[in-house]
Amino acid sequence: MKIAEVIARLDSLKHNTFGVEEKVAWLSKVDAMIKKHIIDTHEGAEKVIFNGYTPDKDMQTELLAPEPFDELYLRYMEAQVDYHNAEYDGYNQAILMFKAEYNGYERWYNRTHMPIGGKMKYF
């Protein structure tokens, strides 16, 4: 999913007054977590370049999580809208859905990519 696509989906599904700057920052935070906690712990991480997103970034940039896991972006952004609007029941539901999507992506990535390992030590 592209940056512009997830922002457009959020805006069509959930009324909000947040600007592109905040939304791009939220997406940048999610991909920073994915890069650090999932991708960088596996071989080939150096091939994935991520320097963060800013409003100046090309809005057609592909986000790191592919289909069918790209729903995690929408869920995270819904949670942020609810949190910043003090709609905590909605936030709790959205963040649980985000975590489920994120964990699904993490499990898939772990199954399909070789983790970085060290030498095994036997005692």
Place of tokens 């409003």: 55
pLDDT at 111: 94
* Contact status, residue 95 vs residue 39, Cβ threshold 8 Å: no
Whether the full predicted model's pTM is greater than 0.95, yes or no, is no
Q: State the DSSP H helix or E strand holding residue 95, giving kind and residue range, or none if neither.
A: helix 88-112
Q: How confident is the model at residue 57 (pLDDT cuts 50, 70, 90)?
A: confident
> Is the pLDDT reported for residue 68 higher than 70?
yes
Q: Exposed, middle or buried by CB within 10 Å (0-12, 13-18, 19+), for 108? A: middle
Residue-level length of the chain: 123
Place of tokens 């592909």: 62
